[in-house]
Amino acid sequence: MNRSLSTALCLAGLIAPIAAYAADPVLPPFDAANFANPRANPYFPLNIGASNTLKGTRTDGVPVVEHGISTVQGPGPVILGVATTLVLDEAFDNGVLKERTFDYYAADKNGNVWYFGEDVTNFRRDATGKLTGTDSKSAWRAGVNDALPGISVSGTPTVGLIQFQEHAPTDGAMDYAEILAVDLVITGPGGTFKDVMKTFEGSLTEPDLREFKYYAPGMGMIRADEDLTTAMDNPGIIVELQP
């Protein structure tokens, strides 16, 4: 899953204690028959042509600016009998492309948005910014190496629900998310959003991955607090939706 995307905001009361993230993630049961009549999920719209730009800065004063562009491209491959939608994610550091990802999603009849895998190109560069090579680290696909799809965003978001977003242990992809709130109001460069859903995202294979993400109806992800400390505060990078 793309690690780079996700102005301080007034966030009083949004940081929950670490004990809130102690439950074991659940691997949702998958059935290809449930995708015949998909229902759209307002927190994760898959409208072809839609594109969001998010920009983030480090909170420690180091002059590094990251931004990402996420675009719904159109039909993706059929995976495990399900026609997916292709989303292109591109991540940049100080204007230099560092990762390009093709993500594969599909919504089921209950509005759950499932994640079926990603094809990744990571761009390695030297100290001068010159490209020295590429790799596909973190790529995985459901049905390959016994990998199974997970749910990126639930169709019935409930506080306390914790599910795997991806389940590919052989490929090192074991991200999960827990829903922390569904009624927040968040203001940022992209506007003011109501009924915002907040999640905590972690990984069984990357214990240092700790992020809060915020999703607004009709928009998708509008903010990410990345590189959280073990106390779940003081994010290293804050990423926000741009106008």
Tens digits of residue pLDDT in 81-109: 999 999 999 999 989 999 999 999 999 99
Q: Is residue 91 part of a domain?
A: yes
Q: Is residue 2 part of a domain?
A: no
Query: Left, alpha or beta for 222 (phi > 0: left; psi -120 to 50: alpha)?
Result: alpha
Residue 123 neighbours by CB distance under 10 Å:
16
pLDDT band at residue 23, thresholds of 50, 70 and 90? low
Q: Is residue 104 part of a domain?
A: yes
pLDDT band at residue 21, thresholds of 50, 70 and 90? low
Q: Is residue 175 part of a domain?
A: yes
Q: Is residue 165 part of a domain?
A: yes
pLDDT band at residue 62, thresholds of 50, 70 and 90? confident
Cα–Cα distance between 112 and 22 in angstroms, integer? 23
Number of domains the chain is built from: 1
CATH number at residue 122: 2.40.360
Asked if residue 223 has pLDDT above 60, the reply is: yes
Q: Is residue 67 part of a domain?
A: yes
Lowest mean pLDDT among 52-61, 76-85, 170-179: 52-61
pLDDT tens for each residue of 150-176: 999 999 999 999 999 999 999 999 999
Q: Is residue 5 part of a domain?
A: no
Q: Which domain holds residue 172?
A: 18-241
Residue with tokens 């959280």: 228
- The three-state DSSP-derived secondary structure of the chain is CCCCCCCCCCCCCCCCCHHHHCCCCECCCCCHHHHCCCCCCCCCCCCCCCEEEEEEEECCCCCCEEEEEEEEEEEEEEECCEEEEEEEEEEEECCEEEEEEEEEEEECCCCCEEEEEEEEEEEEECCCCCEEEEECCCCEECCCCCCEEEEEECCCCCCCCEEECEEEHHHCECEEEEEEEEEEEEEECCEEEEEEEEEEEEECCCCCCCEEEEEECCCEEEEEEECCCCCCCCCCEEEEECC
Q: What percent of the chain has pLDDT over 90?
A: 77
> Mean pLDDT, to the nearest integer, of 76-85?
99
pLDDT of residue 233: 78
Residue with tokens 């240092």: 208
Lowest mean pLDDT among 19-23, 53-57, 126-130, 153-157: 19-23
pLDDT of residue 231: 72
pLDDT of residue 74: 98
> Mean pLDDT, to the nearest integer, of 122-144?
94
Q: Is residue 109 part of a domain?
A: yes
**Which amino acid is present at 207?**
P
